[in-house]
Structure 1
Amino acid sequence: MALLRRDALVTGQLLRLVLLHTAWEVGSGQVSYSLLEESKHGTFVGRLAQDLGLEVSELVSRMFRMVSKGRGDYFEVNLQSGVLFVKSPVDREEVCGQSPLCAIDLEVIVDKPLRIFHVEVEIQDINDNAPAFPAPEKNLFILESRLPDSRFPLEGASDADIGINSLLTYKLSPNEYFSIDVKKNNEQRKSLVLLLKEHLDREETSVHNLLLTATDGGKPELTGTVQLVITVLDANDNAPVFNQSVYEVRLLENASNGTLIIKLNATDLDEGINKDISYSFTNSFNPNVRNMFSLDPNTGEVRFKGELDFENIRLYEIQIEATDKSTFPLTGHCTLVVEVLDVNDNAPELALTSLSLPVPEDAPPGTVVALISVSDRDSGDNGKVTCSIPPDLPFQLVSTFKNYHSLVLAEAVDRERVSEYKILVTARDEGAPSLSASSSILVPIADVNDNAPAFPQPVYTVFVKENNRPGAHLLSVSASDPDVRENAFVSYSVVERSVGEQQPVSSYISVHSESGHIYGLQPFDYEELQALQFQVSARDAGFPSLCGNVTVQLFVLDENDNAPAVSPPGSGRGSPGPELVPLSAGAGHVVGKVRAVDADSGYNAWLRYEVQEAGAAGPFRVGVYSGEISTTRALEEADGPSQRLVILVKDHGEPALSATATVSLSLVESPQAVKWDSRQRVGSEGPLVDMNVSLTIAICSLSGLFVLVIVVYVGLRCHRGPEVMCGPGKATVVCSSEVGSWSYSQRQSRNLCVGEGTAKNDLMVFSPNFPNSAENGGKEKQQEITPNLCGTL
């Protein structure tokens, strides 16, 4: 059957040859033949001698010879019959590739006389090539969340034949999820798309194996197949999408290596790593064509890197995919069509004729920065030039008049953000494809004083011990200014205000104008000033100058610089005299009390009482923390008519300071009022003091009420904000013992609220522990009193 079909084709071909010969006889004068490709050796082509009007008997004598013009030695002439026949089979795809017209030119030369004849043998295509896919298997990854009618581009098969023999149809193996859609973009190419018909379910079927078959239009039909392995991804994100599905670019055939063809742009609606996109050629991209183009995976820039030949290939169709960087990547596809143009024109010329630099950062939009002139030696559309600059710059190009453009400021600039701009001005003509020239303009931004000095923190806190030496360095503040030169030169000063009794802040501290060092001008006295809050101003040297302020909180720490002071005598008693002690007094009888205060605070104001000469105390003792003088046993006449005690009062500071009080006691038959004789001194005797029990109770009541008010006030102040400086206030804290003894530190209370914590003060009130009398006349054991911290205020 195949031989009969072949003979029928040969017979039809012979008829065509007769018709062509007749046409040649009438018209052109050039002999043309037609021959099926792959014809065997000896196949008849035509009666060449007869068609050329030559006598067969003269072919040898006239030195008949035939020459093939660069297409190989495929034909031969029988000099005995003048018949042109096939010497070796002709493969049209090897000789002419995809060219629609394939002809082999022959030259026939005879001598005597010399004549040259042109003979053309057209090679007709037969269906001897099956469709072929780029790869036997194609892997696709599709989200199960993709909607029906989603389209997935596929690279179709190619057929080396032409005409109807290369006209391909596609068929997909039967399935319920996918179908094939073929669209004809233009006369030269078709796009093949895999169409999703139904929702995918990865849990039901995770992989679909489909067979795609391509069939040509020849007789007999030939087919090619590719295995589609479709993996369903269990993810819910968005695939990258190009701003267009097909990019068409024209490129000169003499384009230089590295020429940027296009910068592709794909976007992804996801976030994070799922939004990062990598560009690549598809795996089925022709390796020979791949060597001619490069694709930057990060920027999407496609560049030319080979050699183009307009006469060989006029069109490149490149499949490009954009893949995100998630664990289960998704892919978007586009087609880049590069059309090669056989033109060669001149690039534009660009010149900067005027510059107005630098540009002040407060320059208004519309300020002209540079004047640019462009020209092109070409004419027509190739000589029409447009200028452009990269996007996302605060500049724009404005066409002023023919061949001139102004570079103007489009929006406000900030030198502290960008100090200079390198602008690439591109001039491009309107040729096809267009040529361009570029020039860089460096535009520096001039500084203006638009930034005030700023401190790194809103509040500085420093603790200084009292009695500091004058001129001592307390702390340093520093402000920064992002401006430059004089606009960034910062000087420091104190914001003046009154402290206390109309004393200016500058009488306490000074600030070095250049370094920001803060010095104390005089010794601080904790008993007069516990906290000092002031502001330091930082001012630049710009015009007009700008400034910023910071708050400094200075806290004075107490030192033990005040000795205890014994209260003056005579309070609540009559005329001075010795203390009368009844002889009938038993053990533990209170005969008097020494009262003293200390101007310091905390441990420095915590007082301790003791008899200076313990051996001379006799039957008396003094409370360690209460100052009460009591008997240690029952009095006897042998104790003498009078006793003299020297009481030493010491604080707990480092080093400790002290004072003494001398108490005279007279033993009588009946009790009388106690009389004190005290003299205050450090290391010497002091006068005795007395205090009425009612006065003690009144002071304790008033002090307790005042402390309660302070606690409520501090609580309200601390509740207002995260950082509040509570102002100074007088606070007298009194702690009373069971028998009315008391000691207190009357100082100004300093409260500091930090964050959301409670305010704390520096007062500590101590309650004494009293000795217990031994039963049945046993010895009394004196216990030292342990200080207890009163509630935090």
Structure 2
Amino acid sequence: MIFLATFFVLSAVWPSALSVTRYSIEEEMESGSVVANLATDLGLEPGGLAQREVKLDIFHSKKYLDVNKKTGELYIVEKMDRENLCLAKTTCFLKLDVIIESPLRIFNIELGITDINDNAPHFRRDRVELDVSESATPGERFSLPNGVDPDVGKNTIKTYKLSVSEHFTIEIQTGSDGTQYVDLVLTKSLDREEKAVHNLILTAVDGGVPVRSGTANIIVRVQDTNDNPPQFDRQTYTINMTENSPIGSLVMKLNATDLDEGLNSEIVYSFTLYTSEKTQDVFALNPNTGELTVKGTIDYEDMTFYEMHIEARDKGTHPLLGQCKVVVHVTDMNDNYPEITIQSVKNTVDENIPVGSVIALVGLSDRDTGDNGNVSLSIHQHMPFILNKSSDRPLHYKLIVSEPLDRESVPEYDIILIVRDAGTPPLSDNETITVHLLDVNDNAPQFPLSFYNIRVEENNAPGALISSLSAFDPDLHENQYLVYFILEREIANTSMSMLFSINPENGNLYALKTFDYGPCRVHILRKFTQIK
């Protein structure tokens, strides 16, 4: 202990004109360490101190020192902490009086306590948070807290260091009082979307031996500026939809992303001016969710595809926007019935119209496409008519007489034409063409019997009705009007017209003379009818 105490004494005595004896020791010396030998320094006999009642009067709340009355040594009773005794003062003295009785003498002593590097630098806040806009320009400065080190002189803070950063450095300014101030300096532009938080470590380093240091965490939060427009993951979206999709059906959900944050990243969706009103009547766009839904009727026959131009705009003070295109291809459904158009027809024809004659020209159409629009035409049942395709585009058929017609057999035809598409399930329609046959005088009048046997009593009265003959003709109108007459010939040198007469209109047969059974019992008449 004596060796250690002697080693830490830096200066023994400084004579003073005021009779002040000064000593200097390092702080934190152990209890029992000898500061100096007062008896020797004050010129006193060590053995006589006990009889002279030596005592110390220390101007402090604690008794840090005492005197060994046998040896005259001034020694340490309690460790002394310079920082507690003198706070932040650069020099620290402990004043005490040595009082000796018999005779009374008072010695003034100043004990200088020198600093050792027993305190590491520290920061009053070990975490500092800074908000820095990403629009900040290189060279901007931000104040950082100073470190604290209660040591003095070379043992106090000498410099600051910042952890490695490509965006920041520090600059140290020294005030007129010697206080150092630390500024964080931006050296490279920030990009919040690239790195939103920068974690830095500021280190305060003292000049003692060994070196001591303390750190503080510097958290730089990069504040967003609206420097990123919303972006869609594609420039063009292609969607296939069937026509007649239900109202409210979801077409797709658009999802634009914005690397900014806050209002700068909140997106509103809308159609651009390049989207036609007709398209906007069919589709609806939710401005908040980006959901594209069916609003009106989708009809392939009306539009085979729709093109929508959509923008995503953020809510920043100076909004930015991104755009995309949505193309909806409409898939045809078999929702249209095929149609028959009678473009030319002869509803009335002569019954002797030649085979191969065209009765009607029929056009076919179907608004659907593919198999749904492929149509065929047929006649409902067998009739003396056939269909011949006359052209493909547009599709036309000719209705042609295929067999001789006979009005007397069939005076009228209801020709049912059936058109059918090839969709699944197929759709069909029909149209009826009515053909009336005009009569042609193609039938001769006919009597029911080819031979009539008429009995007449002799001595008949001249002009008497002897019979009524009736012929028929299947033709119509004037073609069936009949005229009756007797074919002229002579019987027994007498003209037939002298014996009989026939009513030309109704066929009543009259005798013009009185017949005698004897001379001629049989008269043969030739009968004829003639069409008027």
Counterpart position of 1:525: 299
* Residues 702-744 of structure 1 deviation map (CA, whole Å, 9 limit, x = unaligned): xxxxxxxxxxxxxxxxxxxxxxxxxxxxxxxxxxxxxxxxxxx
For 1:658, which of 429, 445, 448 is the aligned residue? 429
* Alignment partner of 1:649 is 2:419: yes
Say whether the 8 Å CA contact 2:338–2:364 is kept in structure 1.
yes
2:362 match:
594
Identify the residue that residue 379 of structure 2 maps to in structure 1. Answer: 611
Change in Cα spacing, 1:428 to 1:559, as seen in structure 2 (3 Å) is same
Separation (CA, whole Å) in 2 of partners of 1:490 and 1:619:
73
The reply on whether 1:390 has 2:163 as its aligned counterpart is: yes
Structure 1 segment 665-680 matched on structure 2, within 5 A:
none
**Which one of 449, 453, 456 corresponds to residue 233 of structure 2?**
456
For 1:416-455, list aligned pairs within 5 A.
Answer: 416-429=193-206, 434-455=211-232
Q: Secondary structure at the match of 1:369?
A: strand
In the alignment, the residues of structure 2 paired with residue 581 and residue 456 of structure 1 have an alpha-carbon distance, to the nearest angstrom, of 75
Q: Does 2:281 match 1:507?
A: yes
What whole-Å deviation, never above 9, does each CA across 1:305-339 have from its counterpart, x for those lacking one?
A: xxxxxxxxxxxxxxxxxxxxxxxxxxxxxxxxxxx
Distance in 2 of aligned mates of 1:504 and 1:666: 53
Compute the displacement of 1:665 (Å).
7.7
The whole-number CA distance in structure 2 between the counterparts of 1:668 and 1:593 is 24
Name 1:138's counterpart in structure 2: none
Q: Which amino acid aligns with 2:161?
A: S
Matched residue, 2:141: 368
1:172-251 equivalence runs, <5 A: none
AA of the residue aligned to 1:539: R
**Partner SS state of residue 595, structure 1:** strand
Q: 3-state DSSP class of the match of 2:264?
A: helix
How far the C-alpha of 1:405 sits from its partner, in A, is 1.8
Write the deviation string for residues 59-101 of structure 1: whole angstroms up to 9, x where unpaired. Answer: xxxxxxxxxxxxxxxxxxxxxxxxxxxxxxxxxxxxxxxxxxx
Q: CA deviation at 1:645?
A: 2.2
Report the alpha carbon displacement of residue 611 of structure 1 after superposing the two structures with TM.
Answer: 1.4
Q: Give the CA deviation at 1:431.
A: 6.2
Q: Distance in 2 between matches of 1:525 and 1:658?
A: 21
Q: Which runs of 5+ in 2 are unaligned?
A: 1-115, 390-394, 441-532
* Aligned counterpart in structure 1 of residue 321 of structure 2, from 544, 547, 561: 547
Paired with 1:396 and 1:668, the residues of 2 have a C-alpha distance of 116
2:250 corresponds in structure 1 to 473
Deviation at 1:444, TM superposition (A): 1.9
Q: Distance in 2 between matches of 1:541 and 1:597?
A: 53
Report which of the two has the higher share of strand: 2
Equivalent position amino acid for 2:433 in 1: T
Considering Cα pairs closer than 8 Å and 6+ residues apart, tell me whether 1 or 2 has the greater RCO: 2
**One-letter code aligned to 1:603:** D
User: Contact (CA 8 Å) 1:583, 1:668: kept in 2 or not?
Assistant: no
CA distance change for structure 1 residues 667 and 603 in 2, over 3 Å: closer, same or farther? farther
Q: TM-score, normalised by structure 2?
A: 0.50
Contact 1:539 1:547 in 2 (8 A): yes
Taking the TM superposition and a 5 Å limit, the aligned residue runs for 1:86-235 are: none
SS of residue paired to 2:280:
helix
| SS of 1:486 mapped into structure 2 | helix
Q: CA deviation at 1:469?
A: 4.2
Q: Are residue 349 (structure 1) and residue 121 (structure 2) matched?
A: yes
What does the per-residue CA deviation read over 1:493-550, in whole Å, with 9 as the maximum and x for residues that have no partner? 2223463xxx454333221122222233321332222222112222222222222222
* Structure 1 position 480, deviation (Å): 2.0
1:497–1:579 CA distance, 2 compared to 1 (3 A):
farther
Name the SS of the counterpart of 2:139 in structure 1: coil
For normalisation by structure 1, the TM-score amounts to 0.35
Q: Partners in 2 of 1:665 and 1:597 — Cα distance?
A: 27
1:609 Cα deviation after fit:
0.9
Contact 1:590 1:629 in 2 (8 A): yes
Structure 1: how far apart are the matches of 2:275 and 2:269?
A: 19
Q: CA deviation at 1:374?
A: 4.1
Q: Secondary structure at 1:408's aligned position in 2?
A: strand
Q: 1:582 to 1:431 in 2, by over 3 A?
A: farther
- In 1, the alpha carbon distance for the partners of 2:267 and 2:396 equals 58
Q: Is residue 485 from structure 1 mapped to residue 255 from structure 2 by the alignment?
A: no
Residues 425-434 or 544-553, more deviating: 425-434
Counterpart code for 1:351: F
Q: Which amino acid aligns with 1:364?
A: T
Relative distance call for 1:510 and 1:655 in structure 2 (3 A) is same
Aligned to 2:387: 622
1:423 Cα offset (Å): 0.8
The answer (yes or no) to whether the contact 1:471–1:519 under 8 Å persists in 2 is: yes
Gaps of 5+ in 1: 1-343, 670-793
| SS in structure 2 of the partner of residue 594 of structure 1 | strand
Q: Does structure 2 conserve the Cα–Cα contact (< 8 Å) formed by 1:496 and 1:505?
A: no
Structure 1 residues 419-458: Cα deviation after superposition (integer angstroms, max 9, x where no partner): 2222111233466775433222222222232222222222
Please report how far the alpha carbon of residue 623 of structure 1 lies from its aligned counterpart in structure 2 after TM superposition: 5.4
Contact 2:342 2:362 in 1 (8 A): no
Would the alpha carbon gap of residues 629 and 581 (structure 1) be closer, same or farther in structure 2, given more than 3 Å must change?
farther
Cα distance in 2 for partners of 1:569, 1:623 equals 15
Tell me the amino acid that sits aligned with residue 430 of structure 2.
Answer: A
1:414 aligns with 2:191: yes
Other structure's SS at 1:358 match: strand
Once residues 618 and 631 of structure 1 are traced to their aligned partners in structure 2, the CA distance between those partners, rounded to angstroms, is 9
1:578 to 337, 344, 348: 348
The structure that has the greater radius of gyration is 2
Amino acid at match of 2:363: R
Q: What CA distance in whole angstroms lies between the structure 2 residues aligned with 1:404 and 1:391? A: 20
Identity %: 24
Q: Residue deviations 1:222-259, cap 9 Å, x none?
A: xxxxxxxxxxxxxxxxxxxxxxxxxxxxxxxxxxxxxx
CA-based RMSD of the aligned residues comes to 3.7
- The one-letter amino acid paired with 2:366 is D
In structure 2, the CA distance between the partners of 1:348 and 1:365, relative to structure 1 (3 Å rule), is farther
The match for 2:61 is none
1-side partners of 2:296 and 2:157: how far apart? Answer: 81
